[in-house]
């Protein structure tokens, strides 16, 4: 793919994200437009652009017990979950890689930290809770819904 084609497709993708985020911000129930004009955030913070997967994983973990689990069993894909919530649409390696990468980003940013020695349990840090609140409000994530259902709002 040429650089020009790549940039055109990337820009189109980012424009679609902005459009969806703005629409979600308007729907968000806790936005009080009489107090201030809400400026939607498209997952941008001091770490750069925040993909949807780590945002959802962090927000749901912070709303629950603050723990994220990465469970590996012989013969099946690694499972990533939090507070009994399932994030993987299926048990494929592709889905596993998607959510393991999300967890790895949260670890890299210092928003979650490993607990124990096996690399199976992670806890949200103080900064992670702050970021989770920010992401939940600005992306209008409804944690009363199952993650897979809520994620549909962010798919293209």
pLDDT digits (tens, 9 = 90+) for 42-96: 444 566 678 899 999 999 999 999 999 998 887 788 889 898 888 888 888 999 9
Contacting residues for 7 by C-beta, under 8 A, at least 6 apart: none
- Name the phi and psi angles at 123, rounded to 5: -120, 145
Say what the pLDDT of residue 88 is.
Answer: 87
| pLDDT (tens digit per residue) in 134-148 | 999 888 889 999 998
Tokens at residue 27, please?
Answer: 């729907």
**Interacting residues of 132 by C-beta distance below 8 A, sequence separation 6+:** 58, 59, 61, 62, 63, 111, 124
pLDDT the model gives residue 40: 41
- What are the tokens at 138? 């600005």
pLDDT in tens, 9-43: 888 888 788 788 777 777 664 554 444 444 444 44
pLDDT attached to residue 111:
94
- pLDDT at position 64: 92
pLDDT band at 156 (very low <50, low <70, confident <90, very high): low
Position 101 pLDDT exceeds 80? yes
pTM of the model: 0.69
């Amino acid at each position: 793919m040429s650089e020009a084609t790549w940039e055109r497709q990337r820009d189109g993708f980012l424009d679609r994200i902005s459009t969806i985020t703005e629409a979600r911000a308007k729907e968000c129930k806790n936005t009080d437009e009489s107090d201030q004009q809400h400026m939607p955030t498209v997952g941008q913070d001091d770490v750069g652009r925040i993909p949807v997967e780590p945002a959802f994983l962090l927000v749901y973990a912070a709303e629950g017990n603050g723990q994220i689990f990465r469970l590996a069993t012989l013969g099946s894909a690694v499972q990533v979950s939090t507070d009994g919530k399932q994030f993987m649409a299926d048990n494929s390696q592709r889905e596993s890689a998607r959510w393991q990468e999300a967890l790895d980003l949260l670890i890299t940013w210092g928003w979650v930290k490993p607990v124990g020695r096996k690399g199976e349990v992670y806890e949200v840090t103080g900064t992670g809770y702050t970021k989770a609140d920010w992401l939940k409000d600005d992306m209008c994530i409804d944690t009363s819904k199952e993650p897979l259902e809520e994620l549909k709002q962010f798919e293209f």
